[in-house]
Amino acid sequence: MPVQTGWKPVLRWKYAANFLSVDIMTEAVWKSARFRFYEELNDFLPPERRKKEFDYTFREHPAVKDPIEALGVPHTEVDLILVNGKSVAFDYQLQDSDRVSVYPVFESLDISPLVRLRPGPLRHPAFVLDVHLGKLARLLRMLGFDTDYRNDFSDPELVRISTEEQRTLLTRDRRLFFFRAVSRGYWLRHTDPEKQLREVLDRFDLYTQIEPFRRCIVCNGPLQKVEKAAVLDQLEPLTRRYYRLFRQCATCRKIYWRGTHFHHMNRMLNKTRRWARDRRV
């Protein structure tokens, strides 16, 4: 050890003793677990923590949900947690030296022998969208999906609707998932509405449930067949002349026919067929 001039031996000993006592205390209080996040959960982590094991130090015995969210991953994105190879619930108390593997929501994989943290896959898909997702809301409704959206929903309203009506909350704002009550949610990676639509169809495996001309694009109300004679006085002259088949929204009374909407819808349907095909390859 190099001689440190000016330091008396007794002083050195005093400092060493202080460090020693700090070390002993530290060892008693801090614990460490190894975490590994899988698949798209890595999107929430800084690059140096993606797709590899890393140590997480903690005190006491926090519920495993706490470090997962402290590391930036919303609990709504997590479907399965394995600790030392066994599946655990969010309230599992983390122990020293635990190895924790965290998996995203698998909508299309069978992991039934293990404990899933989410309710089952979306057999009756229903969504609520945050205030910035108006274009995505129209596209989802166009394909027949039950989509609640208003451009003035507050954050607590979105959380309440998602919870009470069991709707999956779609958002680009991760903060919303840190509300404890939210159990169904998905953070959209893309900003372009058509790419967002594809993300949702892929993520929740919805291609077989597309049913156009079922919902009103404006208000999400159900569309019903209506006789032309019943709506004749509400039609423009050219529409009255060229179209025979009509549907009407049961909620806002808007009338639909195979005009301009139809071409846009057909284009979207062709796209979704291509996406579904690409997905199977």
* Interaction site with Zn ion (CB under 5 A): 216, 218-219, 221, 249, 251-252, 254
CA dist list (Å): 72 to 31, 45, 58, 170:
20, 6, 16, 18
CB of 136 to Zn ion, least distance (A): 18
Paired tokens of 116: 């899933």
Residue 230 vs 252, nearer CB to Zn ion? 252
Residue 119 vs 259, nearer CB to Zn ion? 259
Q: Rounded to whole angstroms, how far apart are CA atoms 241 and 243?
A: 6
**Residue 54: what are its φ and ψ, rounded to 5°?**
-145, 160
CA dist list (Å): 120 to 73, 82, 248:
21, 18, 33
Sign of CA pseudo-dihedral 7, 10, 16, 19: negative
CB of 220 to Zn ion, least distance (A): 7
Residue 70 vs 252, nearer CB to Zn ion? 252
Residue 133 vs 216, nearer CB to Zn ion? 216
Q: Rounded to whole angstroms, how far apart are CA atoms 34 and 47?
A: 17
